Amino acid sequence: MFSSDTLIARIAQVCLSLFIGLAIWEIAGWQFNAAHMAPVLGSDVAVTRWIAEMITGGAKLQEHPGTLPRLIEFAQEGDFFLALGQSLGLFCTGFGIALLIGLPLGILMARLRLMRIGLESYILGLYATPMAALIPFILSIFGFQFWPKVIVVVLFSVFPILYNTLEGARSLKPEMIEVARAFRSSERRIWIDILIPYTLPFALTGIRQAIGRALVGMVAAEIFLNNTGLGGWLVDSSRSFDMAGVLGAIIVTTLIGVFLMSVVRRLEKRFAAWRGTGG
């Protein structure tokens, strides 16, 4: 019985889809000019070179540097880890600050009614503002060193965290606080035992949104402020029409995004039961 739902069939389908995708990429890379597109393996790898020679009959084979060999070369030079370290350092600093601002402020605003009503619409407005538009201001006011770039990452990521935390903490039933009050719970215990655990799953939704935005902010800062890290590698490669380098940088940033989002999604699933709605 080979229904399309067995585990093996599922794995086979995913592998097939991966293979088809990579094959299309490889063929596209060979079809186009090397200044426009790079294949996965390219002419640096014996197998693909041999296949290409077979197809063209060995006549004047153009060089098509592959993305994977370029990545390996970059890693061997050690520049890759430097770029990765710079980018991750920027990301973690900025995102950490955004968490430190967004989470406590979100819960605090849900607790203080005056502050919430007064500020909520402004926060929603900033949430909807394309933060990319603020990059020129940061560049001209703060310059282009490390901290201005951190500001960019914080700006990109703080509002989804703040807004979702606020909305989550707000949806807490007042009865829960009343019960805690009735049992003479202190404000500190209310935070630790009720507010923070209750808000966590909602905050995670915001955190996942914020990760995507923070990554955009990170690359944007590295492209527009000064060229360091993965964004810098991306720009340098594209300036020298090194498409293998461009695609390599894109793949690495995408992998970081996929990894971080899957971690948060897993956390979300773990805490979703608390929400009662099943996530």
Partner 1 sequence: MTSLSGTDNAQSSLWEKLTGSRFLLKLSFGILILGAWEIGVRNFAAPFVARPLKVVEALPSVLSDIAYWSATWSTLWSVIIGLAIAMVFGTLIGLLMGRVKTADRMLDFYVNGFYAMPMIAALPLLTVWFGYSEEARLATVVFAALFSVIINVSDGARSVPREYLEVATAYRANRRSVWFDITLMSALPYLIAGVRLAAGRALVGAVLAEIFASIEGQGMYILANARGLQQNEAVVGVLMLAAFGLTFDACMNGVLRKWFPWYRRDGGKGS
201, 103, 216: which is closest to 155 by C-alpha? 216
The residue (of 54 and 121) whose beta carbon lies closer to partner 1 is: 121
Half-sphere exposure of 122 (CA within 13 A, CB side): 6
CB of 128 to partner 1, least distance (A): 4
CA distances from 167 to 83, 103, 190 (A): 37, 11, 18
The residue (of 51 and 176) whose beta carbon lies closer to partner 1 is: 176
CB of 64 to partner 1, least distance (A): 15
CB of 238 to partner 1, least distance (A): 3
Cβ count near 120 (within 10 Å): 16
78, 95, 84, 93: which is closest to 249 by C-alpha? 84
The residue (of 52 and 203) whose beta carbon lies closer to partner 1 is: 203
The residue (of 45 and 250) whose beta carbon lies closer to partner 1 is: 250
The residue (of 75 and 258) whose beta carbon lies closer to partner 1 is: 258
The residue (of 61 and 235) whose beta carbon lies closer to partner 1 is: 235
- List the Cα angle 30/35/37 in 5-degree steps: 45
The residue (of 104 and 279) whose beta carbon lies closer to partner 1 is: 279
CB of 156 to partner 1, least distance (A): 9
Cβ atoms of 66 and 41 closer than 8 Å: yes
Question: Could you identify the residue written with the tokens 């050690």?
Answer: 78
Contact residues: partner 1, CB under 8 A: 4-5, 10, 13-14, 16-18, 20-21, 35-36, 113-114, 117-119, 121-122, 124-126, 128-137, 139-141, 160, 164, 174, 202, 205-206, 208-209, 212-213, 215-216, 218-220, 223-224, 231, 234-235, 237-238, 241, 243, 246-247, 249-250, 253-254, 257-258, 261, 277
CB of 264 to partner 1, least distance (A): 10
3-state secondary structure 163-190: HHHHHHHHCCCHHHHHHHHHCCCCHHHH
CB of 177 to partner 1, least distance (A): 13
Structure tokens that stand for 230 in this block = 């993965």
CB of 55 to partner 1, least distance (A): 24
Cβ atoms of 221 and 155 closer than 8 Å: no
Burial status of residue 95 (CB atoms within 10 A of its CB: 0-12, 13-18, 19 or more): buried
